[in-house]
Amino acid sequence: MVTVQKFIYPTTLGEALEALSAGRGKARAIAGGTSLVFHRGRSTEAYVDITRLGIDRVESLEGRIEVGACARLGALAQGHDLLVPGLRALPEAAACAGSTAVRNAVTLGGSVAGYKRWSDPPIALLALDASVHLEGPDPRDVPLADLFSAHPLSKLAAGELITAVLLEPPGPRTGSAFVKLRRTAVDYALASAAAQVVLDEQGRVADLSLTLGAVRPLPTDATDLAGELLGAEPTEDLLAQVAERIAQEVEPGQDMRASKGYLARVAGVVAEDALATAAARAREEESDA
Ligand SMILES: Cc1cc2nc3c(=O)[nH]c(=O)nc-3n(C[C@H](O)[C@H](O)[C@H](O)COP(=O)(O)OP(=O)(O)OC[C@H]3O[C@@H](n4cnc5c(N)ncnc54)[C@H](O)[C@@H]3O)c2cc1C
């Protein structure tokens, strides 16, 4: 059971930060509120609802794309600004996070800060090399990869809020994809993968990133395991070799739904699929131009 004495509904960022400055144990941010089911036994004096601060829009600002931390996954799944091939992994991940009801509540910032092993959007954001903007005692931008060197909540100072996720607009011949394997339409991921692939004018891989989700407690950067694709055409044979390497190298954690050997295999499969789809989208984008 969660014990809480009051809910606070600030309407400006300043008011929210002021309320959160009371410190841990006294005040806690709440966005979609879907992680409350996991807060059994944890108490706080006040929940500070951050969903009325006007930080839920997708905007192109100063050459970068800012996604407000309180944007709901349901809206992002249909977010037309993000449906370009190079960023497609994000709406794709948002579209398969839990049920429709869950997606209509969960926020992007809550998905990052309240990361669970099954969280889908952070896997896409890591492959897209996103950063976050933090507000609080020391406002700053932080690469998401740094925030995920441990659990993101442990990296946030008391009273600190993620107010936006920052994305670089993709360059030409860039594609991305997110692929998730689950047992049912609303199940948590057994394994997931997000990839971003940049092709050169000859159709060879000029750059790539690959992140695996769900197989370990924190996301796994598998970019090096796909390194043999660099400078080469992403043929079926090469992609199958990458899948095999991932299956050999990734060391899945315990999951009551499947054996570690099975999880290693499917991690290779979803990675292969994400890389192939990202490369195909990079090629399509070139032919559209
Ligand atoms: C039945 C069910 C199934 C689910 N399935 C999936 C799934 O398949 N895939 C998936 O990706 N997710 C899934 N989720 C959602 C996931 O487990 C988390 O509950 C969700 O990501 C939390 O987001 P939220 O906006 O509700 O955050 P909240 O629950 O409001 O907050 C989560 C934590 O983050 C902190 N926080 C929130 N926003 C900020 C911010 N802007 N800055 C700093 N700290 C912040 C809060 O203080 C809290 O500690 C599921 C949830 C449920 C209940």
- Of the candidates 96, 167, 184, the residue with the CA atom closest to the CA atom of residue 128: 167
Residue 2 has pLDDT above 70, yes or no: no
| pLDDT score of 4 | 75
Domain ranges of the chain: 3-49, 58-167, 174-288
Asked which of 25-29, 85-89, 118-122, 231-235 is least confident by mean pLDDT, the reply is: 25-29
Return all residues near 1 (Cβ < 8 A) that are at least 6 apart.
40, 41
| pLDDT score of 86 | 96
Residue 199 identity: L
Residue 122 has pLDDT above 60, yes or no: yes
Q: In this structure, which residue's CA is closest to atom 53 in ligand 1?
A: 34
What is the CATH topology of the domain spanning 174-288? Enolase-like; domain 1 (3.30.390)
Residue 288 has pLDDT above 60, yes or no: no
Q: In this structure, which residue's CA is closest to atom 43 in ligand 1?
A: 161
Q: Which residue, chain included where needed, has tokens 């190298």?
A: 249
- Of the candidates 205, 230, 223, the residue with the CA atom closest to the CA atom of residue 271: 223
Residue 24 has pLDDT above 90, yes or no: no
DSSP 37: G
How far, in Å, from the CA of 174 to the mean position of ligand 1? 29
Considering the chain, what percentage of its residues have pLDDT values greater than 90?
84
Average of pLDDT values for 53-74? 94
Q: What is the pTM of this model?
A: 0.96
pLDDT per position as a tens digit, 96-105? 999 999 999 9
| pLDDT score of 51 | 98
Average of pLDDT values for 126-135? 98
Written as one string, the DSSP assignment of 68-118 is ETT-BHHHHHT-GGG-SGGGTHHHHHHHTSS-HHHHHH-BHHHHHHT--TT
Ligand 1: atom nearest CA of 38 is 19
How far, in Å, from the CA of 116 to the mean position of ligand 1? 8
| pLDDT score of 83 | 85
Say how far residue 88 (Cα) sits from the centre of its chain.
12
pLDDT per position as a tens digit, 203-250? 999 999 999 999 999 999 999 999 999 999 999 999 999 999 999 999
CATH class of 58-167: alpha beta
Return all residues near 88 (Cβ < 8 A) that are at least 6 apart.
82, 175, 176, 177, 178, 281
Average of pLDDT values for 253-278? 96
